[in-house]
């Protein structure tokens, strides 16, 4: 089924910051970590925090210890003081936009202004702002409050950040008509108004809209109301389990939006469930194509294909099959099978690379299932359901890879054996760390580097069938260009997986430097790869097909732009786009080889 995700959906800036603060505190600080009241109105996010040992502090005790995170809604100033007096370390997660309203209320109340706040009675954000306004605060949350407004002289009007714009404007007009001279501060958060405007546009383009979010979330409820007002069918769900496929089957194109407190991994699951559901009106070919792509993605076969494409590209770039030596079993096999060495050599090399990459990638996914549950739930579920089959296939693939390497000769076999041992060591904890023994994969920010080196060795160095000291300058250049290309691939995939990695506390490049910096780094590396591959080819330092590295470099540069806009709910499409870079390289190299021979 075709699904369109709203441009603005899921955690807003303030909620995301508060959530990050809580997860960081639970990972880095000793002692108990609390949030003062539920951090957000979403049961899935709350259960995750509970699983990470973050508890909810409902009342402030006389004495306490540990860290308390103040949520994005903020608290009255007295509550913050009482927490500090009780002995807690307080981390203030109040959203900057809420702080602005609190400060407006505080400053004007001190100057004698009455602070009229349009907001929901009992909402934590409203309680916090009223705390800053003190005795000068006046809450309007219903028509009744509006009618019973006392006479106002010197006053300002403020809005709870998630209020509806139309209602706020209307009530301001009515207050000013009765008591002219008041100052209006429109403090509605533009994240809310953008989200509401976007859902109106989305509803006009699709057959029905699914609104994802907690039942207690006011802004999620408002989104559902807007969809209903638009006349399109609306399904409000808390998780993917609430989806009614009996109702969904009649639609061709479904829109998905989510409230500001809905975690991305919940949206992700809902999206993937709807996408996987066949629509009655979907053409058979589209359905077949999507199912095939999904199968390649969920079985990790698309990663193996990317590895195979890289190995073949390297072989074609580097030149003809190495005929020197004459002792490698593959040459004997070629004459035994009456096959041309130029056919058997690339077949064995590609088989070795593809099987190794498939096996290591899948084993690591199986070991690190925790993060996949958040990043790519359907794939995680598929892997978990076929765990036994995957383990058997991984072992068989590794054996096939080692056999192919043995056939390619002693250098290839020993290089692959070395990488296999490093691959196993990668996930085994043996380095003394600050909390427990750590594995190589736990070293902050190194995963992309390890993967890049492993792929470059397996896809290019091992197939060469020569000891590294006998490899020439041009081949080392190709080796490093492949490593850079794979590094960019891993960095882009880490950007997609950032939320799950953050939840399980994995320190990837995206978590250390931030997603934008990583995308900037990929852009820079892609530009460098493009310039170096073109420059070195034109200077005659490397074989002429090396210039084609410019194609995946330009592709990755373009991908950084699309990744900056949408970073979740699109794992399938985004991962396929990343792996497609290697297929493009192979197609261009094959065409180049055919045209120049
Ligand atoms: S909705 Fe706006 S004001 Fe409220 S937490 Fe999110 S970003 Fe901040």
Quick one: tokens of 576? 């396929």
| Banded pLDDT at 432 (limits 50, 70, 90) | low
Which long-range contacts link 148-153 to residues 24+ away (Cβ below 8 Å)? 149/175, 149/178, 149/179, 151/179, 152/114, 152/116, 152/178, 152/179, 152/182, 153/114, 153/179, 153/181
Do residues 362 and 471 share a domain? yes
Determine the distance separating the centroid of ligand 1 and the alpha carbon of 143, expressed in angstroms: 25
Residue 347 · residue 321 · CB < 8 Å: no
The pLDDT assigned to 324 comes to 43
Find the helix packing angle between 284-298 and 377-385, rounded to 10°.
70
Do residues 106 and 229 share a domain? no
Options 4, 59, 84, 125, the catalytic residue: 125
22 burial via Cβ count (<10 Å: 0-12, 13-18, 19+): buried
448 contact partners, CB below 8 Å, separation of at least 6? 487, 490, 491, 494, 508, 509
Q: Is residue 2 part of a domain?
A: no
Determine the distance separating the centroid of ligand 1 and the alpha carbon of 190, expressed in angstroms: 8
Ligand 1 pocket, residue 162 CB under 6 Å? yes
Mutate which of 192, 213, 218, 220 to test ligand 1's pocket (most atoms within 8 Å of Cβ)?
192
Averaged pLDDT, 508-537: 91
Atom of ligand 1 nearest to the CA of 12: 6
| Banded pLDDT at 268 (limits 50, 70, 90) | confident
Residue 108 has pLDDT above 50, yes or no: yes
Q: Is residue 88 part of a domain?
A: yes
Averaged pLDDT, 269-285: 78
H or E segment at 229? helix 218-230
Do residues 108 and 161 share a domain? yes
Averaged pLDDT, 501-527: 83
Q: Is residue 4 part of a domain?
A: no
Q: Is residue 448 part of a domain?
A: yes
Q: What is the DSSP letter of 6?
A: -
Ligand 1 pocket, residue 86 CB under 6 Å? no
Domain end among 95, 130, 149: 95
Ligand 1 pocket, residue 510 CB under 6 Å? no
The enclosing domain of 58 has a CATH number of 3.40.50.11270
> Which of 260, 264, 446 has the alpha carbon at shortest distance from 371?
264
> Which of 291, 304, 340, 336 has the alpha carbon at shortest distance from 320?
340
* Residue at token pair 């109301």: 225
Phi, psi of 381, deg, nearest 5 = -65, -40
Atom of ligand 1 nearest to the CA of 95: 8
Residue 77 · residue 109 · CB < 8 Å: no
Averaged pLDDT, 479-487: 96
The enclosing domain of 115 has a CATH number of 3.40.1010.20
* Residue at token pair 């852009």: 523
Q: For the chain, give the mean pLDDT.
A: 87
The C-alpha atoms of residue 465 and residue 52 are separated, in whole angstroms, by 48
Atom of ligand 1 nearest to the CA of 125: 4
| Banded pLDDT at 207 (limits 50, 70, 90) | very high
541 contact partners, CB below 8 Å, separation of at least 6? 473, 474, 477
Do residues 51 and 119 share a domain? no
Which has the higher per-residue pLDDT, 123 or 424? 123
The pLDDT assigned to 143 comes to 92
Q: Where are the alpha helices (DSSP H) in 368-472?
A: 369-375, 377-385, 387-408, 410-426, 447-456, 462-464
The pLDDT assigned to 90 comes to 94
Q: Is residue 348 part of a domain?
A: yes
The pLDDT assigned to 56 comes to 92
The C-alpha atoms of residue 361 and residue 466 are separated, in whole angstroms, by 26
Phi, psi of 270, deg, nearest 5 = -65, -45
Q: Is residue 569 part of a domain?
A: yes
| Banded pLDDT at 249 (limits 50, 70, 90) | confident
Do residues 273 and 296 share a domain? no
The C-alpha atoms of residue 579 and residue 597 are separated, in whole angstroms, by 28
Percent with pLDDT over 70 in the chain: 93
Residue 429 has pLDDT above 80, yes or no: no
| Banded pLDDT at 256 (limits 50, 70, 90) | very high
Residue 527 · residue 558 · CB < 8 Å: no
Do residues 47 and 124 share a domain? no
Determine the distance separating the centroid of ligand 1 and the alpha carbon of 260, expressed in angstroms: 8
Q: Is residue 287 part of a domain?
A: no
Q: Terminus-to-terminus CA distance in the chain, angstroms?
A: 45
The C-alpha atoms of residue 569 and residue 197 are separated, in whole angstroms, by 21
Do residues 298 and 397 share a domain? yes
Domain end among 282, 312, 343: 282
Degrees, nearest 5: CA angle 89-264-197: 105
Atom of ligand 1 nearest to the CA of 13: 7
Quick one: tokens of 373? 């549950």
Quick one: tokens of 144? 């009744």
Coil, helix or strand at residue 507: coil
The residue whose CA is least distant from atom 5 of ligand 1 is 14
Ligand 1 pocket, residue 351 CB under 6 Å? no
Q: Is residue 59 part of a domain?
A: yes
Residue 22 · residue 34 · CB < 8 Å: no
Ligand 1 pocket, residue 189 CB under 6 Å? yes
Residue span of the structural domain in which 386 resides: 292-596
Catalytic-residue membership of 125: yes
The number of folded domains in the chain is 4
Task: Name residue 254's beta-bridge partners.
Answer: 3, 208
Domain end among 190, 222, 244: 190
Which has the higher per-residue pLDDT, 411 or 467? 411
Averaged pLDDT, 213-229: 87
Do residues 493 and 346 share a domain? yes
Do residues 338 and 420 share a domain? yes
Phi, psi of 279, deg, nearest 5 = -85, 150
Averaged pLDDT, 274-278: 78
Do residues 184 and 318 share a domain? no
Residue 493 · residue 578 · CB < 8 Å: yes
Do residues 185 and 195 share a domain? no
Do residues 203 and 335 share a domain? no
Q: Maximum Cα–Cα distance for the chain, whole Å?
A: 102
């Amino acid at each position: 089924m075709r699904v369109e995700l709203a441009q603005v959906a899921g955690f807003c800036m303030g909620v995301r910051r508060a959530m990050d603060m809580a997860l960081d505190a639970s990972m880095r600080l000793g002692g108990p970590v609390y949030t003062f009241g539920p951090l957000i109105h979403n049961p899935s996010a709350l259960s995750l925090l509970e699983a990470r040992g973050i508890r909810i502090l409902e009342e402030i005790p006389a004495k306490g210890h540990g860290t308390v995170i103040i949520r994005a809604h903020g608290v009255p100033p007295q509550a913050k003081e009482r927490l500090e007096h009780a002995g807690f370390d307080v981390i203030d997660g109040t959203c900057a936009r809420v702080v602005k309203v609190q400060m407006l209320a505080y400053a004007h109340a001190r100057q004698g202004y009455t602070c009229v706040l349009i907001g929901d009675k009992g909402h934590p954000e409203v309680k916090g702002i009223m705390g800053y306004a003190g005795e000068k605060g006046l809450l309007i949350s219903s028509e009744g409050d509006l009618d019973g407004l006392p006479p106002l002289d010197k006053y300002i009007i403020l809005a709870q950040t998630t209020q509806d714009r139309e209602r706020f404007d209307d009530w301001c007009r009515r207050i000013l008509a009765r008591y002219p001279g008041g100052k209006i501060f429109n403090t509605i958060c533009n994240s809310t108004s953008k989200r509401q405007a976007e859902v109106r546009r989305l509803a006009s383009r699709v057959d029905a809209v699914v609104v994802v979010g907690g039942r207690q979330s006011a802004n999620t409820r408002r989104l559902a109301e807007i969809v209903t007002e638009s006349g399109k069918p609306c399904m409000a769900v808390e998780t993917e389990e609430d989806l009614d496929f009996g109702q969904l089957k009649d639609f061709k194109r479904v829109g998905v939006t989510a409230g500001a407190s809905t975690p991305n991994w919940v949206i992700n699951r809902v999206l993937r469930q709807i996408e996987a559901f066949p629509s009655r009106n979907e053409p058979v070919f589209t359905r077949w194509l999507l199912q095939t792509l999904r199968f390649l993605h969920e079985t990790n076969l698309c990663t193996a294909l990317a590895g195979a494409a890289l190995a073949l590209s390297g072989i074609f770039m580097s030149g003809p099959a190495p005929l020197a030596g004459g002792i490698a079993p593959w040459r004997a096999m070629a004459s035994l099978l009456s096959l041309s060495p130029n056919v058997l050599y690339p077949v064995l090399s590609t088989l070795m690379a593809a099987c190794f990459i498939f096996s290591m990638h899948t084993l690591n996914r199986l070991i690190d299932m925790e993060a996949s549950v958040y990043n790519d739930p359907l794939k995680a579920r598929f892997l978990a359901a076929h765990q036994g089959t995957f383990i058997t296939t991984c072992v068989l693939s590794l054996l096939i890879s080692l056999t192919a390497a043995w056939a390619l000769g002693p250098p290839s076999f020993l290089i692959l054996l070395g990488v296999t041992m490093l691959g196993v060591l990668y996930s085994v904890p043996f380095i003394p760390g600050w909390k427990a023994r750590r594995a190589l994969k736990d070293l902050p920010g190194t995963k992309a580097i390890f993967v890049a080196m492993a792929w470059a060795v397996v896809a290019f160095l091992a197939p060469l069938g020569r000891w590294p000291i006998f490899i020439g300058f041009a081949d080392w250049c190709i080796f490093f260009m492949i490593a850079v290309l794979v590094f960019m691939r891993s960095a882009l995939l880490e950007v997609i997986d950032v939320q799950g990695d953050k939840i399980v506390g994995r320190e990837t490049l995206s978590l250390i430097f931030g997603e934008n910096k990583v995308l900037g780094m990929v852009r820079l590396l892609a530009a460098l790869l493009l310039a170096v591959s073109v420059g070195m080819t034109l200077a005659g330092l490397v074989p002429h097909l090396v210039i084609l590295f410019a194609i995946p470099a330009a592709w990755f540069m373009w991908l950084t732009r699309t990744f900056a806009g949408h970073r979740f709910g699109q794992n399938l499409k985004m991962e396929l786009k990343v792996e497609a870079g290697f297929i493009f390289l192979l197609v261009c190299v094959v065409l180049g080889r055919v045209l120049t021979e």
